[in-house]
Amino acid sequence: MNRAAALLLLLLPLSSVHAQDVRRDLRYGDRDRQVLDIYSAPGAKNRPVIFWIHGGGWQTGDKSDVQHKPRVFVDRGFVFVSTNYRLLPAVDMGTIIRDVALSLRWVHDHISEYGGDPSRILVMGHSAGAQLAALLCTDERSLKEQNLPLSIIKGCVPVDGDTFDIPAIIETAETRRRVHGQPQAKYGHREKFGNDPAKHRDFSAVNHIARGKDIPPFLILYVADHPDTSAQALRLAAALKEAGIPATAFGARETYHSRINANLGVPDDPASKALFAFVDGVVKP
């Protein structure tokens, strides 16, 4: 969290900050990093659920990277879940996606024990987590493997992702480096996603969007001044709208990649206002 965000949080009235129960390192599988944390209000029952997927380029990051989101959402009447997953290069991208789907299955099956409503789940994620969130909410295959329908997800909020259309970002990044005489990345998106054009298409959320699949409404948050995440957000929103799926792309100004994430929930933050309006519209705490 940046200093401005921290100072703003200190200005929150004490009446707006309530106690919360935290359960850490709950296992959703038997492999390393197949654990999640749950934050809820004492005595919570049938609360809508935020399922948060951290970023870190699919190589780093942790479920603890949530800043003040748990407190903010618990105070707004939600149960907040933050999940880990295995990372590159120890596993491949397909395994990461299956981990996230398995985690969501565990949440669906067990969240009522922690005060959550399994029929009202919103999926959110930042950066790499944004790609995973968008794919989870558009490609029904990973959830079908867990005997779950897309209809359990009531909303999706990817935050500043650049890989909703992976072939596009690969071409953009490699062209930029080539025309400026820079060496290509040794472990860029091409390699991370399998160095196979078919895999690049398959891991792109835009290629799984279609009518009649119970794809939930989307709010796509992005840094307005960043050309790549802006282009990707607008591309995803356009594909969703073309399929008749409610989608809003909100570009946050005077911010940057880590800050848009850290500031979610800060009073008067424009992206947070858009987020709260969205979640209140798709589920009622």
**Domains, the chain, ranges and CATH?**
17-282 (3.40.50.1820)
Band (13; pLDDT cuts 50, 70, 90): very low
CA distances from 101 to 60, 110, 136, 282 (A): 19, 14, 7, 21
- Residue labelled with tokens 């479920």: 63
Return the CA Rg of the chain: 18
- Token couple for 1: 């969290």
- Token couple for 21: 């129960």
For residues 160 and 59, give the distance between their C-alpha atoms in angstroms, rounded to a whole number.
17
pLDDT tens digits for range 103-134: 999 999 999 999 999 999 999 999 999 999 99
Band (15; pLDDT cuts 50, 70, 90): very low
What pLDDT is attached to residue 267?
87
Average pLDDT, the chain: 94
Dihedrals phi, psi of 197, to nearest 5 degrees: -55, -35
What pLDDT is attached to residue 19?
81
Q: Helices 166-179 & 227-242, crossing angle to 10 degrees? A: 150
Reduced to 3 states (helix: H, G, I; strand: E, B; else coil), residue 56 is coil
What pLDDT is attached to residue 278?
98
Torsion on CA atoms 26, 29, 34, 36, rounded to nearest 10: -30
Per this entry, what is the length of the chain? Answer: 285
Of all residues in the chain, what percent carry a pLDDT higher than 90? 92
- Token couple for 106: 């565990």
DSSP H or E run through 133: helix 128-136
- Examine the pLDDT at 1 and tell me if it is beyond 90: no
What pLDDT is attached to residue 6?
47
What pLDDT is attached to residue 259?
98
CA distances from 283 to 11, 156, 217 (A): 28, 12, 11
Cis peptide preceding 267, ω within 30 of 0 = no
What pLDDT is attached to residue 35?
98
Contacts 24+ apart (CB under 8 A), 28-33: 28/83, 28/102, 28/103, 28/105, 28/106, 28/107, 29/99, 29/102, 29/103, 29/106, 31/86, 31/99, 32/86, 33/84, 33/85, 33/86, 33/87, 33/99
pLDDT tens digits for range 136-171: 999 999 999 999 999 999 999 999 999 999 999 999
Q: Note whether 181 and 200 are within 8 A (CB).
A: no
When pLDDT is averaged across residues 51-74 and rounded to a whole number, the result is 97
Query: What pTM, to 2 d.p., does this model score?
Result: 0.93
